[in-house]
Structure 1
Amino acid sequence: MRSLRFALIAATMVASTAFASPADPKNGVDYQTLSAPQPVQAKGKKVEVIEFFAYHCPACNMVEPMLNGWVKKQGDNIVLRRIHLPFQGPNDPEAHLFLTLEAMGKLEEFHPKVFRAIHIERKRLMTDDAIIDWAVKSGLDKAKFMEAWNSFGVTTKLRRLGQQQAAYKVSGTPTIVIDGKYVVSPGQVAEANKIQGVEATMQATAQVMDALVARAAKTK
């Protein structure tokens, strides 16, 4: 998968190289445009940005600092949504965890903790039992967690993830979709511009995203 390929490339790159972002990112080179644009939830002048990710994905973990900084810089220009790709199928435990935290209003607090548990503490949160055990040991009330975990709203959203993946034609993570139609990934940006180095790749990806948000805003 693209996520794995990018992670392996990034892991071998310890030095950054200078990057000059294209003033006008090219469709089919720096990004792709969906043939069937998807409806957006953002209202008014704000541009919708969706991150398709997976907690176990090393590249997603590397993208987090860049994405968080980029979102702060964009401010009121955008609305960010995250969608966890269901790599393990319609009952993907990690996606189930993400939706449960979201339903509980605990996502802002626990989203970085999940990444840390997997990528720093090396915990294998790939099954329902492992995730529930980790959630309780991390301070979440078990009764409230299980209530959200088994709720109609969470289970319905979980079943719909495959449809969302297909609609946006996303096959790997991390993938960013801007304004329901522009699809960007660090792997594509690095490959298209022959970039070496994680830092340079993140910088370049952010610059391409800047340009696409600006382009989308002109049509609002």
Structure 2
Amino acid sequence: MFKRFARLRILALLGGLVLASACTAANNDAAAPYADGTQYVTMPGAPQRYSAEGKVEVVEVFSYGCVHCAHFAPMAEEMRKQLPAGVVFKMVPAAFSDQWVPYARAFYAAKKLGVLDATHLALFKAKFDEHYPISTLDELADFYASKGVDRAKFMSIASSDEVTAQIKHDGEMLQKWEVDGTPTIIVNGKYRSSQVKSLGELSAMTLWLANRELGTK
């Protein structure tokens, strides 16, 4: 059972991130396929949404350093395509350790450069299927350069104060959500995935929660 996919502790990003260079709508329907407190948990207090957009929000917390995230990535892509209108999908890179900070930086640099969609699955494939050494920011820069990205621009953006601040903000959100593993799904700032039995169940449950949340609006 996938209780936690990547058990890593969140760094103290809140005190100043050092530049670094798993992996409530009440539900009274007894026939519901997923149970609050088992496959997912309703987080206490007011919803903690990642952004101020008006749509229902599905957030995947992941890392390029997480092999389970690599396995989930194609499923997450198919899941994203199945989300109904009115639901927005977001990805948040978890910087749970010094080793994972470069992956978070790379994610935001790729996003800024407009190459995220083209490189997201390719990076997982290169690291975990083809076993390329992709761990440091320099190695990540080499990977993106091999995909036609300007290496100097990548390094400049990845190392920027703007990206540092974004990773700090993400760390604050992960603490609020009490995320301690990847991949984790957060639905509308209310629900956090928990003890799912498989990655397929994680995807199916996310679609179910998103549709249910959309129906309550």
Same fold (TM over 0.5): yes
Q: Which amino acid aligns with 2:75?
A: M
Instruction: Give how far 1:42 is off.
Output: 6.0
Contact 1:42-1:48 within 8 A present in 2 as well = no
Matches within 5 A, 1:24-63: 24-36=33-45, 37-41=47-51, 43-44=53-54, 46-63=55-72
Asked if the contact 1:54/1:95 (under 8 Å) is kept, the reply is yes
Corresponding residue of 1:150: 159
State the SS of the aligned residue for 1:100.
helix
Deviation at 1:139, TM superposition (A): 2.0
Cα deviations by residue, 1:93-148 (Å, 9 ceiling, x for unpaired):
11111111111111111111111111111123221222222222332112321232
Q: Which amino acid aligns with 1:206?
A: S
Is residue 189 from structure 1 mapped to residue 196 from structure 2 by the alignment?
yes
Alpha carbons of structure 1 residues 74 and 23: separation in structure 2 relative to 1, 3 Å: same
* Corresponding residue of 2:107: 98
Structure 1 residue 180, shift from structure 2 partner:
0.6
Q: Distance in 2 between matches of 1:209 and 1:124?
A: 32
> What is the deviation of 1:152?
3.1
Partners of 2:144 and 2:154 in 1: how far apart? 8
TM-score, normalization by structure 1: 0.78
Match of 1:138 in 2: 147
- Find out whether 1:120 has 2:123 as its counterpart: no
Q: Which moves more between the two structures, 152-161 or 167-176?
A: 152-161
1:56 and 1:119 in contact (8 A); partners too:
no
Task: Give aligned pairs, total.
Answer: 193
State the partner residue of 2:16.
none
Equivalent position of 1:178 in the other structure: 187
- Structure 2 gaps, min length 5: 8-21, 24-30
Choose which of 187, 192, 209 in structure 1 pairs with 2:206: 209
Amino acid at match of 2:202: T
TM-superposed CA distance for 1:48, in Å, is 0.2
Q: Find the aligned partners of 1:73 and 1:170 in 2 and give their Cα distance.
A: 25
